[in-house]
């Protein structure tokens, strides 16, 4: 298959380095391409408005396990993860395409469930399903969603706009989706060993819901607009807080001090982390799929956020020479490690 | 997995009926959605220009076989099949996103080959690669490409604009890509039985090239613009001529008389069809992946096409009560059957 004898394992690079490596030779020729690869979404300057495009691939056995994922939730989530990227640009999602490859072990009724979830998400986020492709696959299911949104050019928020002195803000709570996944995986193992044992998941309802049916923070984007705050940088938290903060710092050429005290963690997630003998802050830093927003604001805007729910200030952007650091609850300061989801 | 006991096989519906079935409940809420599901591409009215969006999923083992498909050609083709859909709307492709799911049996060098092909196609069709997603898969490779283009609203050509009396036009030649695939499949079988026997494919260079490295008819779209002809309807020929003509007739609510004499078939394809004991016209009608254009024009425009190369007039649009018919070289008239590529 290779034209040379050299063989470099894809695992050796990691997802982001691999994308960089494969696409660095591509130059943009259209003046309308104002942001290509490297943010939550691409931005096309189709005056008077900009068009914002984001795409994701969900693969069975990698991103979802149908042993415990209801198809309706899967359909819903596949839309949410994409509109979340559009919101992270401070844009409004308008349209999506959905393509599916499925093996013929799926019935029409199973696909109806999947599309019922897609439909519910389209209604919730007010997006039109405008196209797609449906084809067979030798094995398993792959879902590809592209979301298209719009924004005024002046309203767009990129990853590269953070300035030293800016405050780091986090929405909702973090780590719960990761812990929900740990529970589902554990129950799957128990089921495999003792078929017939019905799990009682009532007490973990919140964190399992965060894994199976996440929501995008449309409400936060709307609230920020209402109070007249435009973040200086923003990213959605799909790979874990640490990894996303590194993206912002690298692209903005800054350092950061993140305060453990300010990182929001749900009480149910706190409890479950301890049951799993995990540190809750590690789940928040390295777990993924919460689809919350990480953004930075000018300090002068802090007052305006005061009465907005579910937005937490969790540190400060620093000059680049400080690096990216975590201040623990005990007051110690550590170098932060980026350990997001790695699919390779 | 199903919420009910009913189980309908996905094979029982066919791709187009399945898409209809799954998406008929989706209503569009944005006035900008002027064409959703059901044409070569969706159209978004982002004034002053319209944005045209098309997406395709290519799955290993279904759409391509890496036993005989060089990765560079595969990358090229994955872009071509999408820009072809944009041209079929009489629009100009501008941007693409490319997402890939791959198992870790692929090396970085293999992906470099794939991206070299994508790069070559971006240069040829003048499109910017603006994003995508790269992830792992448990097995095989899946490529998802979304192409985005632009056109003035008045210049867009849909499948539903054909009128009785319009002339049916076909570009290039048909059936060769299908025959190229037959040769490659045959050589694969021979190789499996007698490893070491090197195939001599020199004499089939043209038709194998049509399968492995098709081109989109950018040149035809530009030529039509130059001579001032706007087709009344248009579709790209990805599933076979018969299937595409049925799409136009059904959406335009017309019948058609297709003349075998007017259907362009390359001499090499003629010859190879006979070697395979196939009727060349059947290969043109039912083979797929030629990525030529099928379009209709007002009879008054026929004169303007006279000096354009590779555009062939092959029949006439009729009133709907005539159905869709084929007039053979011998003068017999048959009901045309739609037997395009069916992936289910």
Low-confidence ranges of chain A (pLDDT < 70): 1-5, 338-344
Establish if A6 touches chain B: CB-CB under 8 angstroms: yes
Residue B267 covered by a domain: yes
Chain A contacts of B112, Cβ < 8 Å?
A: 21-22
Rounded distance between C-alpha atoms, residue A143 and residue A74, angstroms? 10
- Given B132, B155, B178, the domain boundary residue is B155
Question: Is B110 part of a structural domain of the chain?
Answer: yes
Tell me the shortest Cα–Cα distance from A107 to chain B, in angstroms: 5
Dihedral angle at the C-alpha atoms of A116, A118, A121, A123, nearest 10 degrees? -70
| pLDDT the model gives residue B200 | 72
Q: For A196-224, b where at least 16 C-beta lie within 10 A, e where not — what string?
A: eeeeeeeebebbbbbbbbbbbbbebbebb
**A43 assigned to some structural domain:** yes
Q: Is the pLDDT of residue B86 over 90?
A: yes
Can you point out the beta strands (E) in A266-341?
292-297, 311-318, 324-327, 333-335
pLDDT of B123-142, one tens digit each? 999 999 999 989 999 999 99
Residue A344, domain member (yes or no): no
Say which DSSP state A26 is in. Answer: P
pLDDT at B5: 65
User: Which chain B residues contact residue A115 at CB under 8 A?
Assistant: 22-23, 25
Return the SS3 of B266: coil
Q: Which of A24-38, B151-165, B230-244 has the lowest mean pLDDT?
A: A24-38
* pLDDT on residue A339: 60
Nearest CB to A109; choose among B4, B49, B66: B4
Claim to verify: residue B128 and residue B178 sit in the same structural domain: no
Say which range, A24-28, B107-111, B172-176, B312-316, has the weakest mean pLDDT: A24-28
Task: Assess whether B144 and B179 both reside in one domain.
Answer: no
Considering the domain architecture, whether residues B62 and B136 belong to the same structural domain is answered as: yes
Lowest mean pLDDT segment, chosen from A229-233, B26-30, B226-230: B26-30
- Write the residue in A37, A95, A142 that is nearest to B142 by C-beta: A142
Nearest partner of A174 among A263, A245, A251, A246, judged by Cα:
A263
For residue B147, give its domain range.
10-155
B55/A133 touch (CB, cutoff 8 Å), yes or no? yes
Q: Are A178 and A237 in contact (CB under 8 A)?
A: no
Q: Say which CATH number the domain at B223 has.
A: 3.90.650.10
One domain, residues B195 and B319: yes
Q: Are residues B320 and B178 in the same domain?
A: yes
Question: Is the domain of A196 the same as that of A144?
Answer: no
Taking each helix axis from N to C terminus, what angle separates B71-87 and B108-125, rounded to the nearest 10 degrees? Answer: 30
If asked whether residues B99 and B142 sit together in one domain, one would say yes
Regarding whether B317 and B173 lie in a shared domain, the answer is yes
Task: Report yes or no on A7 lying in a domain.
Answer: no
Does the residue B15 lie in any domain? Answer: yes
Tell me whether B74 touches chain A (CB under 8 Å).
no
Q: Which residue do the tokens 């929405």 mark?
A: A171
pLDDT digit string, tens, across residues A106-161: 899 999 999 999 999 999 999 999 999 899 999 999 999 999 999 999 999 999 99
Task: Give this complex's ipTM.
Answer: 0.91
CA angle (A47, A51, A56) in 5-degree steps: 165
- B292-297 and B167-171 strand pairing: antiparallel
B330-340 pLDDT, tens digit each: 999 999 976 64
Cross-chain Cβ contact A107/B8 below 8 Å? yes
Q: Which pLDDT value is given to residue A196?
A: 76
Tell me, what's the pLDDT at B338?
67
Is A18 within 8 Å of B66 when comparing Cβ atoms?
A: no
Chain A interface includes B128 (CB < 8 A): yes
B15 CA: distance to closest CA in chain A (Å): 7
Work out the percent of chain B whose per-residue pLDDT is above 90. Answer: 76
Looking at the fold, whether B199 and B103 belong to one and the same domain comes out as no
Per-residue pLDDT at B17 exceeds 60: yes
Confidence check: pLDDT of B120 > 60 = yes
Kindly state whether residue B88 falls inside one of the protein's structural domains: yes
Please check whether residues A141 and A179 belong to one and the same domain: no
CB A317 within 8 A of CB A168: yes
**What are the C-alpha distances in Å from A27 to residues A274, B71, B111?**
49, 21, 18
Residues forming a β-bridge with B44: B33, B51
Same domain, B142 and B203: no
Could A134 and B59 be called an inter-chain contact, meaning their C-beta atoms sit closer than 8 Å?
Answer: no
At B222 the pLDDT is 97
Q: What is the CATH number of the domain that holds A125?
A: 3.30.1330.10
Tokens of A334: 């550590």
User: Is residue B212 domain-resident?
Assistant: yes
Does the structure show a pLDDT above 90 at B50?
Answer: yes
Q: Answer for the pair A288, A239: CB distance below 8 angstroms, yes or no.
A: yes
Cβ separation of A55 and B131 shorter than 8 Å?
yes
* Measured distance CA(A12)–CA(A177) in Å, rounded: 27
Q: What is the count of structural domains for chain B?
A: 2
Among candidate residues B155, B187, B211, the one where a domain is terminated: B155
Inter-chain touch A137–B33, beta carbons under 8 Å: no
Neighbouring CB atoms inside 10 A of A109's CB total 17
Entry pTM? 0.93
Q: Which of A126, A152, A178 is the last residue of a domain?
A: A152
Give CA–CA dist A233/A158, Å, rounded. 5
B253 plus B174 within the same structural domain: yes
Rounded to the nearest integer, the mean pLDDT of chain B is: 92
Q: Do B107 and A46 touch (CB under 8 A)?
A: no
Q: Report whether B122 contacts B129 (CB < 8 A).
A: yes
Q: Which residue of B has its CA nearest to A23?
A: B115
């Amino acid at each position: 298959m290779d034209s040379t004898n050299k063989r470099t394992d894809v695992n050796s690079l990691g997802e982001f380095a691999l994308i960089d490596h494969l696409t660095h030779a591509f130059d943009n020729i259209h003046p309308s391409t104002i942001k290509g690869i490297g943010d939550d979404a691409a931005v096309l300057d189709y005056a008077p408005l900009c068009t914002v495009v984001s795409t994701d691939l969900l693969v069975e056995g990698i991103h979802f396990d149908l042993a415990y994922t209801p198809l309706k939730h899967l359909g819903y989530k596949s839309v949410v993860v994409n509109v979340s990227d559009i919101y992270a640009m401070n844009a409004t999602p308008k349209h999506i395409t959905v393509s599916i490859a499925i093996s013929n072990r799926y019935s029409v009724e199973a696909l109806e469930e999947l599309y019922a979830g897609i439909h519910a998400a389209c209604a919730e986020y007010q997006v039109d399903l405008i196209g797609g492709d449906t084809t067979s696959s030798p094995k398993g299911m792959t879902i590809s969603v592209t979301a298209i949104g719009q924004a005024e050019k002046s309203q767009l928020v990129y990853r590269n706009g953070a300035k030293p002195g800016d405050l780091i803000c986090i929405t909702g709570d973090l780590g719960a989706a990761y812990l929900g996944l740990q529970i589902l995986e554990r129950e799957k193992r128990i089921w495999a060993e003792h078929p017939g044992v019905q799990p009682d998941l009532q007490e973990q309802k919140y964190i399992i819901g965060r894994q199976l049916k996440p929501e995008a923070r449309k409400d936060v984007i709307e609230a920020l607009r209402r109070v007249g705050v435009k973040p200086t940088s923003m990213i959605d938290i799909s790979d874990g807080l640490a990894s996303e903060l590194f993206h912002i710092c690298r692209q903005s050429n800054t350092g950061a001090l993140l305060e453990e005290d300010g990182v929001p963690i749900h009480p149910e997630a706190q409890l479950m982390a301890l049951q799993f003998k995990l540190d809750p802050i590690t789940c928040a830093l390295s777990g993924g799929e919460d689809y919350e927003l990480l953004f930075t604001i000018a300090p002068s805007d802090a007052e305006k956020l005061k009465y907005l729910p579910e937005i937490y200030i969790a540190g400060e952007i620093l000059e680049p020479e400080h690096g990216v650091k975590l201040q623990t609850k005990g007051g110690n300061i550590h170098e932060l490690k980026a350990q997001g989801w790695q699919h390779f």
